[in-house]
């Protein structure tokens, strides 16, 4: 009987760890898929309308959606010489109502920060960007002589306390549940 209760306790620990990990990787709002937000953001920014060639982000944004604990990162890329690269960060407007017409009071996203850089002779650009906790919708765009290119992504900045709890708590290792201190 004792073996059964130990097995059940281990099973509960595994479930708890799985729930913690799932909460760390959840999208901006638990009941809505992040892709719907990203699609809405792309429509809002018109980022899909690209005519400038030679624009590419090399690091800082690696996926369409990602989660991180670090709230500052370097955005590095290439673009044609003398093009203007703008990095804009938006937050989802929780009071947005899709059933009402869009207006200044009813826009789906609010700009939180924006920086621009003119690309030099090397063709590279780099900027350090700070993000807020939670969902950050980022638009990286380049423009030269009326031609444009851009990309969008969702970067979820997780609370650093969650990271500390995960590092100090139990971890799943193979088939058994071990505490960090026993590794």
Residue 75 is predicted with a pLDDT of: 93
Write out the H or E segment, with its range, that includes residue 115.
strand 109-118
Residue 79 is predicted with a pLDDT of: 94
Find out whether 116 and 86 touch, Cβ atoms under 8 Å. yes
CATH of the domain at 64: 2.60.40.10
Residue 49 is predicted with a pLDDT of: 60
For residue 143, tell me if it sits in a domain: yes
Instruction: Enter the pTM of the model.
Output: 0.66
pLDDT tens, position by position, for the chain (183 residues)?
555 454 444 444 544 433 343 433 333 333 345 566 677 777 766 665 667 888 989 988 888 888 888 889 999 999 999 999 999 999 888 888 878 887 777 788 888 999 999 999 999 999 999 998 888 999 999 999 989 888 888 898 887 777 676 777 654 554 445 444 544
> Measured between alpha carbons, how far is 174 from 115 in angstroms, rounded to an integer?
45
Find out whether 141 and 85 touch, Cβ atoms under 8 Å. yes
For residue 79, tell me if it sits in a domain: yes
For residue 4, tell me if it sits in a domain: no
> Measured between alpha carbons, how far is 36 from 112 in angstroms, rounded to an integer?
21
What does the block give as tokens for 44? 């809002």
For residue 16, tell me if it sits in a domain: no
Contacts of 5 (CB under 8 A, 6+ apart): none
Residue 24 is predicted with a pLDDT of: 37
Residue 5 is predicted with a pLDDT of: 52
Q: How many domains does the chain have?
A: 1
Find the domain containing 78 and state its range.
31-159
For residue 149, tell me if it sits in a domain: yes
Residue 35 is predicted with a pLDDT of: 63
């Amino acid at each position: 009987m004792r073996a059964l209760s130990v097995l059940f306790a281990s099973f509960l620990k595994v479930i708890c760890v799985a729930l913690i990990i799932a909460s760390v990787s959840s999208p901006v709002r638990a009941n809505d898929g992040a892709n719907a937000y990203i699609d809405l953001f792309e429509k809002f920014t018109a980022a899909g309308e690209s005519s400038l060639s030679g624009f590419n982000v090399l690091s800082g944004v690696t996926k369409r959606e990602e989660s991180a604990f670090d709230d500052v990162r370097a955005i590095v890329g290439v673009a044609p010489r003398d093009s203007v690269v703008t990095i804009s960060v938006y937050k989802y407007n929780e009071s947005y109502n899709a059933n009402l017409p869009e207006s200044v009071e009813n826009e789906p996203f609010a700009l939180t920060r924006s920086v621009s850089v003119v690309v030099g002779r090397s063709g590279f650009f780099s900027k350090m960007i700070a993000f807020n906790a939670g969902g950050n919708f980022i638009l990286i765009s380049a423009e030269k002589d009326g031609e444009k290119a851009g990309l969008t992504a969702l970067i979820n900045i997780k609370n650093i306390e969650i990271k500390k709890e995960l590092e100090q708590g139990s971890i799943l290792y193979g088939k058994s549940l071990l505490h960090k201190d026993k590794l």
